[in-house]
A and B are shown apart, each in its own frame.
Chain A
Amino acid sequence: MPVQLTMPRLSDTMEAGTIVRWNVKEGDPVSSGDVVADVETDKATMEMPVFDDGVVARILVDPGTQVKVGTPIAVIATDGEDVAAAAASGATPSAAARAAAPAPAPAATPTAAVPASPAPAATAPSPVTPVKVELLDATARRGDAPAIAGAPQPAGPRMRMSPVARRMADEFGVPVDSISGSGPAGRIVKRDIEEAIQRMKSGQLAPVVRAAPAGAPSTALSMPVSTVPVVPIGAQAREVAVSGMRQTIARRLVESKLSIPHYQVTMRVSMDALLELRSMLNRQLETQGVKLSVNDFIVRACAIGMQAHPFMNASWGGDRIVLHSDVNVGVAVSLPAERGGGLLVATIRHADQKGLRQISIETRALAEKARTKGLSAEDMGGSTFTVSNLGMYGVEHFTAIINPPNSAILACGAAVEQPVVRNHQLAVGHEMSATLSLDHRVIDGAMAAEYLQTVRQNLENPATLMV
């Protein structure tokens, strides 16, 4: 059976390789160990040996041509085989590249699709055997390309991985496709993951970037590590250990910023009526221990606004957009320094069905719980939209990073007393800046603007929030 040489994966990050030079030509005899070609990867130029004895039946890729890993590049007729028949069995590189699989996919004649047919060898090629080519690294250190033996097969069998290796790979974002397993039958085991984590920490291996599952807090450390070395500046510089929460914040926000096409839309909202209503309600409800915050009104306004704007309450699903039927508004809660600082998002479930009083009570309870004993996954999971408010700090305007898998987040500043124009007259009023950050894959600018108008109307006519 002819042997098909394919472009080997010579480094973890190698997607494609370029044949720099063929050291053999069609018809040349080769024996195991002969260097048949020089291959340029993303890192270095390396020698590619062959592991069979035979004759070069066909060269499929010209020097200077870049092809994807796994693409057939030459066919070797092994001893005793008909060179012409072997040559005919080789797939063209373009066809193979389209097929994207190194499997025998001879794009030759229709008869090839009928393997049972006893056709002549020249027209019915026998299937070729893809061989793995081991690296003989002429320029780099040998240890630089550990992924040859276990190079992934695009449509190969189920990946073998021990349970703890699977869990660690998930936690740390290890790109398991790019590492090889040292266990039996190529099973990826704990030590392979530990090595990969070390290489990720030193920047030799890029972590998997993926959207975090909804509400699943993770202790992952899968952020890309900057290639710029971090050196302490100043004699009094000190280091602070990164907590699990800080790692999660870092990972999720990096993922959000890297994977979501963010844009922002800002409106100013007149808050006078709302502030007046709030003072009145709080005076009346004081004896009942209820104290409504501006944020409670904003949560309510955002939640009831969803009914007419279902795409604001949605998630990008890759090949589909999921329009959620529950409206669960996440409220960003900052933690005090004595609890290690950080940020959590507490979820107010069915916020569109809850009154101001209920939203207020739940938000206070969750914030208190977050600051004392911490929130459960249940408390933090399942949000469909998030509100972040820095008004209490006097911030006038800011933008927020979307909290995946949400598609939008509202950033509210303070209601600042300032000159405003009303009915062509200069007046003094309380104005609040409200800025939506949006996932453009789900929500276009006009959709965002319409939703923000609805929210503004709700806030400027706060009686609508009462019913």
Chain B
Amino acid sequence: MSTMMSTSPESPAGGLREIEFRDAIREAMSQEMRRDPRVFLLGEEVAQYNGAYKVSRGMLDEFGPRRIIDTPISESGFAGMAIGAAMMGLRPIVEFMSWSFSLVAADPILNNAPKMLYMSGGQFGCPIVFRGNNGAGGQLGSTHSWCVEGLYSNVPGVKIVIPATPEDAKGLMTTAIRDDDPVFFLESERMLGMKGHVPEGDHLVPFGQARLARSGDDITLVSFGRPVHFCLEAADALAKEGISCEVLDMRTIRPLDVGSIVRSVRRTSACVVVDQSWSFASPGSEVASIVHRECFDDLDNYVHRVHSVDVPTPYATNLEQEYLPNARRICEAVRACLYRA
């Protein structure tokens, strides 16, 4: 898909090293494992098979089976075990083949990890990273196409990272591993092959700091993860109609960089939130609520939102495309928000 190859105007031009999204994640994990012996990776097929999506390719060879651990198909078991390890001082990285499979581990990841520091009165922290594919991967059907950020961002104590570029994937993963709190790191199967410039060596991107993916004057598009690229595609199309879109890639939705959103919307007076969660009680609804509160006197229209359609993810390719917050639907929302529909 061409949209996935879109890069931000800030991306350095050619000549610099470009690697795939999946390699950027691995580079961050491997560098941190070399730096810190407490860091280890576990999950289904991460070791012998080099990862179901080859994110952990070669890591077993370098770090051996004590630090790259194949687990049984038992998310609740290995997630809970890793949380125990984190409480006792290790720094696990748990790969879920898909975040859809994390639902069976809801109790440990939502009921234990985010609450541990609070419930133990500060005695036990939980420095753990859960990572895996999130969102519609392409004809995976309703049960394997989950976007979990809507559900999980409701829980206090979690940090939720949704990178949109290879560079951010490395920078945010490094920050996630060094973070002392549980971090949910949401990747997209559709973006693992995306290539882009990624700095070598230590590269950290702080949480709670949005990236200006495209600057513009007429409207602010707020997004994160894969839909950022839908927004950029829409912005290209809208530019031909004389509409200048600013695209903010939030990078993390917990913490959320409210300041960047507010500064942009105060300038443009218009805002569309693009979020591939379902609309009800979603990150998008939260952003809209914040913008309405913080920018009330600056808005020329209510905040428009583009979400996945409020149905289980369809299997058929054409329906799945229409279900997603695609560029066409974003363009429609932008025109409506600017009274140009």
Contact B300 A189 (CB under 8 A): yes
Is there a chain B Cβ closer than 8 Å to A23's Cβ?
A: no
Contact B339 A165 (CB under 8 A): no
B341 — nearest CB in chain A belongs to which residue?
A: A184
Is there a chain B Cβ closer than 8 Å to A190's Cβ?
A: yes
Contact A189 B339 (CB under 8 A): yes
Surface stretch bound by A, among B14-22, B223-231, B291-299: B291-299
Is there a chain B Cβ closer than 8 Å to A257's Cβ?
A: no
Query: What band does the interface of chain A fall in when counting residues whose beta carbon is under 8 Å from B?
Result: 10 to 19
A183 to B336, CA, bound (A): 10
A190 to B267, CA, bound (A): 12
Going nearest first, the 10 A-B pairs with the smallest beta carbon separation are A190-B300, A162-B300, A164-B269, A167-B297, A164-B300, A163-B297, A183-B339, A163-B299, A164-B298, A189-B300
A170 — nearest CB in chain B belongs to which residue?
A: B297
Per-residue contact bits, chain A 202-236, to B (CB 8 Å; 1 contact, 0 not): 00000000000000000000000000000000000
Return chain B residues, CB-CB under 8 Å to A167: 297-298
Is there a chain A Cβ closer than 8 Å to B31's Cβ?
A: no
Q: 13 A-B Cβ contacts within 8 A?
A: A162-B300, A162-B301, A163-B297, A163-B298, A163-B299, A163-B300, A164-B269, A164-B298, A182-B339, A183-B301, A184-B339, A190-B269, A190-B300
A191 to B270, CA, bound (A): 12
Return chain A residues, CB-CB under 8 Å to B300: 162-165, 189-190
Return chain B residues, CB-CB under 8 Å to A162: 299-301
Q: Which of B300-341 contact A (CB under 8 A)?
A: 300-301, 339
Return chain A residues, CB-CB under 8 Å to B301: 162, 183, 189
Chain A nearest Cβ from B294, distance in angstroms? 12
Return chain B residues, CB-CB under 8 Å to A163: 296-300
A89 to B299, CA, bound (A): 46
A191 to B269, CA, bound (A): 11
Return chain A residues, CB-CB under 8 Å to B296: 163
Contact A164 B297 (CB under 8 A): yes
Return chain B residues, CB-CB under 8 Å to A191: 339
Per-residue contact bits, chain A 160-179, to B (CB 8 Å; 1 contact, 0 not): 00111111000000000000
- Count residues on chain B whose CB falls below 8 Å from chain A CBs: 8
Return chain B residues, CB-CB under 8 Å to A165: 300
Return chain B residues, CB-CB under 8 Å to A166: 297
Contact A164 B299 (CB under 8 A): yes
A189 to B299, CA, bound (A): 9
Q: Is the interface of A mostly helix, strand, loop or mixed?
A: helix
Return chain B residues, CB-CB under 8 Å to A164: 269, 297-300
Chain B nearest Cβ from A171, distance in angstroms? 11
Return chain B residues, CB-CB under 8 Å to A183: 301, 339
Return chain A residues, CB-CB under 8 Å to B269: 164, 190
A224 to B331, CA, bound (A): 40
Per-residue contact bits, chain A 7-29, to B (CB 8 Å; 1 contact, 0 not): 00000000000000000000000
Chain A nearest Cβ from B264, distance in angstroms? 14
A166 to B299, CA, bound (A): 10
Q: Which of B245-298 contact A (CB under 8 A)?
A: 269, 296-298
A184 to B300, CA, bound (A): 12
A377 to B300, CA, bound (A): 27
A164 to B219, CA, bound (A): 13
A166 to B297, CA, bound (A): 8
A167 to B298, CA, bound (A): 8
Chain B nearest Cβ from A31, distance in angstroms? 34
Return chain A residues, CB-CB under 8 Å to B298: 163-164, 167
Q: Which of A140-173 contact B (CB under 8 A)?
A: 162-167
Given contacts A162-B299, A166-B297, 4 further A-B contacts (CB under 8 A): A163-B299, A164-B298, A164-B300, A183-B301
Per-residue contact bits, chain A 102-139, to B (CB 8 Å; 1 contact, 0 not): 00000000000000000000000000000000000000
B269 — nearest CB in chain A belongs to which residue?
A: A164
A62 to B109, CA, bound (A): 83
Return chain A residues, CB-CB under 8 Å to B339: 182-184, 189, 191
Return chain A residues, CB-CB under 8 Å to B299: 162-164
Chain A nearest Cβ from B290, distance in angstroms? 15
A191 to B217, CA, bound (A): 13
A191 to B296, CA, bound (A): 17
A166 to B298, CA, bound (A): 9
Query: Which of B269, B298, B299, B300 has the most A CB atoms < 10 Å from its CB?
Result: B300
Return chain B residues, CB-CB under 8 Å to A184: 339
Chain A nearest Cβ from B265, distance in angstroms? 10
A165 to B301, CA, bound (A): 10
Per-residue contact bits, chain A 246-289, to B (CB 8 Å; 1 contact, 0 not): 00000000000000000000000000000000000000000000
A181 — nearest CB in chain B belongs to which residue?
A: B339
Chain B nearest Cβ from A57, distance in angstroms? 40
B340 — nearest CB in chain A belongs to which residue?
A: A191
Chain B nearest Cβ from A307, distance in angstroms? 42
A162 to B339, CA, bound (A): 11
Chain A nearest Cβ from B243, distance in angstroms? 12
A167 — nearest CB in chain B belongs to which residue?
A: B297
Query: Which of A182, A184, A190, A191 has the most B CB atoms < 10 Å from its CB?
Result: A190
Return chain B residues, CB-CB under 8 Å to A189: 300-301, 339
A184 to B337, CA, bound (A): 11
B301 — nearest CB in chain A belongs to which residue?
A: A162
Chain B nearest Cβ from A42, distance in angstroms? 31
A190 to B298, CA, bound (A): 10
Chain B nearest Cβ from A160, distance in angstroms? 12
A135 to B339, CA, bound (A): 24
A161 — nearest CB in chain B belongs to which residue?
A: B300
A189 to B297, CA, bound (A): 12
A461 to B323, CA, bound (A): 86
Q: Which of A295-321 contact B (CB under 8 A)?
A: none
A163 to B297, CA, bound (A): 5
Per-residue contact bits, chain A 321-360, to B (CB 8 Å; 1 contact, 0 not): 0000000000000000000000000000000000000000
Return chain B residues, CB-CB under 8 Å to A190: 269, 300
Chain B nearest Cβ from A196, distance in angstroms? 14
A7 to B286, CA, bound (A): 49
A183 to B339, CA, bound (A): 6
Chain B nearest Cβ from A61, distance in angstroms? 38
Chain A nearest Cβ from B230, distance in angstroms? 26
